[in-house]
Amino acid sequence: MLTDSLELRALLRSLLPGLAITSVPNPSGQRVVFFCRFDAHAVGKSEPRQRAIWGNVVLKVSQGIHAAQIAYLQKEIEILNSLNSIHYPKLYWYETFTIDPRTGDMLPCRLFVTIEDRINANPLSAVTSKHRSETQVLAFLDHLVVALQPLWNHAQKLIHRDLKPDNILIKADGTVVIIDLGIVREEGAAGLTATGNLFGPCTALYASPEQARNDKKNITFKSDFFSIGVLAYELIANEHPFGLPTESILAVLERVMNHTPPSLYKRKMATREFSDFVSKLMEKQPYRRQRTLEQLQQDLSSLIKRS
Amino acid sequence: MKLFHQCGHCTKWNLDAFNNGQVGDGLIFSPVHEKRARIEAQPASVRKASFFDPQYYLPNSQKAKLHTYDFFPEVVSTGFSTADFSLVAIESAKLCLEFQAAQQFEKLIIPARYFSQMNPDYTTKQEAYTVVPFLKEASRQKLKKPIYLTLPLTSHMIEHEGYRTDILNWVTSFPEIAGIYLIPDHARQIKQVLSAAFITEMLKLITEIQEANLKVIVGYVNTESLLYLIAGDIDITFGAYENTRIFSIDKFVESDEDRRGPKARIYLSGLLNWLQFSQAKELKASDAKLWARAYSSTTWGDNALKLAVEPAFNQEILYRHYFLSFAEQVDALRPLNQIDRYRKLRGWLKEAIEIDKAIDDIPIDLERHGKGSHLQPWLDAINSYYTNYLKP
């Protein structure tokens, strides 16, 4: 698996003249991610020429070993380009590298690099303490649902499938930006992972039961509803409903499928209405969750009015 | 809550009952029985209160009237084959929705294929066959009327919890759909449903669909549909010939030739059942008080009972009595909440059990379809529903 290293950074600088890595965000997924910018003087005439005016960017590097992984990445690019929404980062450029320019040798594994706009915002994981009351969480969920609409309402009925605190950025005005669309799936599409896999691509702690089972035909926008329920529960309870990040993936997924956490109301952490709303989002069977985006929004607005 | 005429042979009876008798809230037109031109010729007031079941249940049906519809799978693909239908599925959806929209029907129906077995690919096949093409077309045509998805399910599918859950997850995954046109296919030896388990599971299914904020129309149902009303404000159907009250795929292959008809039957609301006309007359003659408890008087029924000759099964008189008598029962339940509907139905069923016993004591030995053997299972089913869902 690709990791951040001096060698990788040196290779990237040789591939992308002028690259200046400024910091590294929390590790996420199978890609190495850098925050960086390009030194205008050092860029010269190399491609991509416009990089000097991009400012702060996010550079993601992956080793496209498997066709499925490359396909996921290409899917992300295709989606980002088609969404054209303030709730998703702008994708500036991407390229596949197969040759080390320093030696002219073939790289042991091809590198896939994307460069996208760096959003001036904090990931939810860094600001959870500001989202502890029902009112705060409802306001956040309202923004989150607005941000996800371009995906769910997309002609191809897209599903994020990996909503989690590190993938949700919150701007100062509360606007939400969704990142890491690497495992977005078109509802009803065959998908890029084998059906026989024990579980589908996901982050176990925020996965829905149908993702945990890799039950592809039932993975719909309502799988994202489940993840939203988990986020809401975790924010209010200040603990995760299905396990700890240190536990094994299988142990967490087993609980996602079979354990129903006590309601927030029973735990005296939320009003009955809010608690019922979250429990409905986290129903094991998709048909028991809010059936449409409109219903989710209606439930949210009546809770917001009440709070 | 609405009561729709499930049309079949002799739709003119349903139309007359609806137009001139104010019986029923609308009609469900049946293309296997009605040529396209006749439906198009109905007044707008009728069409707007009604809807159209495209009946794609058997896509290669050779029934002539179905072939008057250019969108029917066998017609649009000039000889249906499963492998090739995907090429014309969108065209079929386009034409079918254009027809439904042009008729200004109350709602739009996405048809479905009928599967007699628990097919593991049920949802995938239905999606490819009609659901996805119809939803795409409805969106392209910017249709605003509520869209209902036809869901033909055998009793095995309904009673199998895992299968039912899969179906529920599937139907609730289409935000564009407003409701389900549920077609239960319960194979049976006698005309009434005898299985308390089936009724219980149907009530559960209806409840689960409604809890997902989807409307429900239960099609092709006999008098057991009254029981389903305790699950909430759903729409139910009633019809003249038996094949409008019991779903059978056979009607899409049977010939339209006149066959030797069954013995005439009359609906006795007090028994929640149909009795052979001759046995009903025997009951009337034997015990006037008991007859008054079993029979709800209508002009059509009274006139039939006065006839010197027993009416034939293909005459309207006894069906028109049924329309009125059954609609009266529905109207009695209509304004009530679920608990009060349960209480009223429980009262009716207990009364029916008593009447049935008293008939036996006369003695009149009702033939097997007229016996009250369905009553106790029905009572058990609604009691179970009350305990699990309604009891405060």
What are A39's two structure tokens? 């030194």
pLDDT in tens, A222-275: 999 999 999 999 999 999 999 887 888 899 999 999 999 999 999 999 999 999
A49 at the B interface (CB within 8 A)?
no
Question: Facing residues of A38 across strands?
Answer: A19
The answer to whether A94 touches A114, Cβ cutoff 8 Å, is yes
Closest approach of A295 to chain B, Cα-based (Å): 9
SS (H, E, C) chain B: CCEEEECCCCHHHHHHHHHCCCCCCEEEECCCCCCHHHHHCCCHHHHHCCEECCCCCCCCCCCCCHHHCCCCHHHHCCCCCHHHHHHHHHHHHHHHHHHHHHCCCCCEEECCCCCCCCCCCHHHHHHHHHHHHHHHHHHHCCCCCCEEEEEEEEHHHHHCHHHHHHHHHHHCCCCCCCEEEEEEECCCCCCCCCCHHHHHHHHHHHHHHHHCCCEEEECCCCCCHHHHHHHCCCEEEECCCHHHCCCCHHHHCCCCCCCCCCCCEEEEHHHCEEEEHHHHHHHHHHCHHHHHHHCCCCHHHHHHHHCCCCCCCCCCHHHHHHHHHHHHHHHHHCCCCHHHHHHHHHHHHHHHHHHHHHHHHCCCCCCCCCCCCCHHHHHHHHHHHHHHHHCC
**Least CA distance to A156: which residue of chain B?**
B136
A297 at the B interface (CB within 8 A)?
no
- Out of A188, A217, A291, name the one closest to residue B212 (CB): A291
Q: Rounded distance, CA B42 to CA B299, Å?
A: 27
A292 vs B contacts (CB less than 8 Å): 175, 213
Residue A107 reports pLDDT greater than 90: no
The answer to whether A112 touches A191, Cβ cutoff 8 Å, is no
Residue B33 reports pLDDT greater than 60: yes
Q: Rounded distance, CA B179 to CA B271, Å?
A: 32
User: Which of B122, B169, B213, B216 to substitute to test the interface with A, most A CBs within 10 Å?
Assistant: B169
What are A235's two structure tokens? 């924010």
Residue B259 reports pLDDT greater than 80: no
Mean pLDDT of chain B: 95
pLDDT in tens, A4-58: 999 999 999 988 888 899 999 876 666 899 999 988 776 666 667 777 788 899 9
Sign for the pseudo-dihedral over CA of B82, B86, B90, B95: negative
**Least CA distance to A221: which residue of chain B?**
B173
Question: Do the chains contact at A293 and B175, CB–CB below 8 Å?
Answer: yes
Q: Rounded distance, CA A111 to CA A96, Å?
A: 6
A105 at the B interface (CB within 8 A)?
no
B123 vs A contacts (CB less than 8 Å): 217
Mean pLDDT of chain A: 87
CA-to-CA separations, B11 to B6, B19, B30, in angstroms, rounded:
9, 12, 9
The answer to whether A206 touches A234, Cβ cutoff 8 Å, is no
Confidence band (pLDDT; 50, 70, 90) for B347? very high
Q: Return the amino acid letter for A126.
A: A
Sign for the pseudo-dihedral over CA of A190, A195, A201, A202: positive
**Least CA distance to B121: which residue of chain A?**
A217
The answer to whether A224 touches A163, Cβ cutoff 8 Å, is yes
What are φ and ψ of residue A88, in 5° steps? -135, 140
Burial of A269 (0-12, 13-18, 19+ CB in 10 A): middle
The answer to whether B208 touches B385, Cβ cutoff 8 Å, is no
Residue B70 reports pLDDT greater than 50: yes
A222 vs B contacts (CB less than 8 Å): 172-173
How confident is the model at residue A50, as a pLDDT?
75
Tokens 């702008």 belong to: A90
Confidence band (pLDDT; 50, 70, 90) for A157? confident
Question: Do the chains contact at B123 and A188, CB–CB below 8 Å?
Answer: no
Most confident of the ranges A105-119, A205-219, B377-391? B377-391
What secondary structure letter does DSSP report for A284?
S
- Out of B169, B171, B214, name the one closest to residue A285 (CB): B169
Q: Rounded distance, CA A223 to CA A95, Å?
A: 31
B127 vs A contacts (CB less than 8 Å): 188
Question: Do the chains contact at B165 and A217, CB–CB below 8 Å?
Answer: no
A185 at the B interface (CB within 8 A)?
no
A216 vs B contacts (CB less than 8 Å): none
- Out of A217, A222, A295, name the one closest to residue B123 (CB): A217
How confident is the model at residue A243, as a pLDDT?
82
Give B262 or B62, the one with higher predicted confidence. Answer: B62
Nearest CA to A227 out of A244, A210, A251 is that of: A210
Question: Do the chains contact at A292 and B213, CB–CB below 8 Å?
Answer: yes
ipTM of this predicted complex? 0.81
Task: Scan residues 218-257 of A and list those with Cβ closer than 8 Å to B.
Answer: 218, 220-222
DSSP line for A35-71: EEEE-HHHHTTPSSGGGGGS-SEEEEEEE--SHHHHH
Q: Cα–chain-centroid distance for residue A8? A: 24
Name the pairing type of β-strands B235-238 and A106-117.
Answer: unpaired
User: Which of B129, B167, B173 to substitute to test the interface with A, most A CBs within 10 Å?
Assistant: B173
**Least CA distance to B213: which residue of chain A?**
A291
Q: By a Cβ cutoff of 8 Å, what residues of chain B touch chain A? A: 123-124, 127, 132, 165-166, 168-173, 175, 208, 211-214
- Out of B132, B168, B173, name the one closest to residue A220 (CB): B173
A294 vs B contacts (CB less than 8 Å): 175
A295 vs B contacts (CB less than 8 Å): 213
* Mean pLDDT calculated for residue range B31-48: 96
Closest approach of A112 to chain B, Cα-based (Å): 35
Question: Do the chains contact at B173 and A285, CB–CB below 8 Å?
Answer: no
The answer to whether B43 touches B20, Cβ cutoff 8 Å, is no
Helix (H, G, I), strand (E, B) or coil at A288: helix
